Amino acid sequence: MPPPIVKGMDALFAPPQENWQRLSPRYATVRRVGSLVTAAIAFGFLAAVVGLLTENWWWAGLVAVAGAAFCAWSWWRIGRWVRSWGYAERADDLYVTHGVMFRSLTVVPYGRMQVVKVEAGPIERSLGLASVHLITASIQTNARIPGLPEAEAARLRDRLTEVGQARGAGV
């Protein structure tokens, strides 16, 4: 099956004839938990302050409803954001793309890689996910691929390390 034809602005963010690898959908859970905890603390505090200052708990309820609406919007937005991430391994470089409204494409030449780092926080570990960070010779081209299943993160780490060493990079 031939690759899809990419036209217009989307062509800037897609390497020609490459298959994008996507993040695990479980990574949305990691982001959503963090967002919901932050929103609950912020809107809960704001509702309490509004209720105490105005002595009208109806306004505090209105703040809580706004917080719930924000959480619903954030839930939807995080799903789209996670689906926007992708990476493609090519012969000489790695492409990393992400973003819904503000799109980004980072091209990391294997010969410029200095460090490949794998990280996972407690929520990521509980879901079997990890992030791969690429540190290059230039601060501007550091790349990160979050939300990878553990096995894929280990495979990518090993592959990037192997290719980096073969190219004489500092990995």
Q: What is the pTM of this model?
A: 0.78
- Count of structural domains within the chain: 2
Query: Domain for residue 50, yes or no?
Result: yes
Helix (H/G/I), strand (E/B), else coil: 108: strand
Q: How does pLDDT run across 9-56, given as a tens digit for each residue? A: 666 776 666 688 899 999 999 999 999 999 999 998 999 898 888 888
* pLDDT confidence band for 8 (50 / 70 / 90): low
Question: What pLDDT score does 1 carry?
Answer: 41
CA–CA distance from 82 to each of 17, 79, 166 (Å)?
22, 5, 32
Residue 155 and residue 116 share a domain = yes
> Range of 38's domain?
27-81
Query: Domain for residue 44, yes or no?
Result: yes
Question: What pLDDT score does 165 carry?
Answer: 77
pLDDT reading at 60 higher than 90: no
Residue 120 and residue 52 share a domain = no
Residue 92 and residue 157 share a domain = yes
Residue 161 and residue 96 share a domain = yes
Residue 48 and residue 98 share a domain = no
Residue 110 and residue 96 share a domain = yes
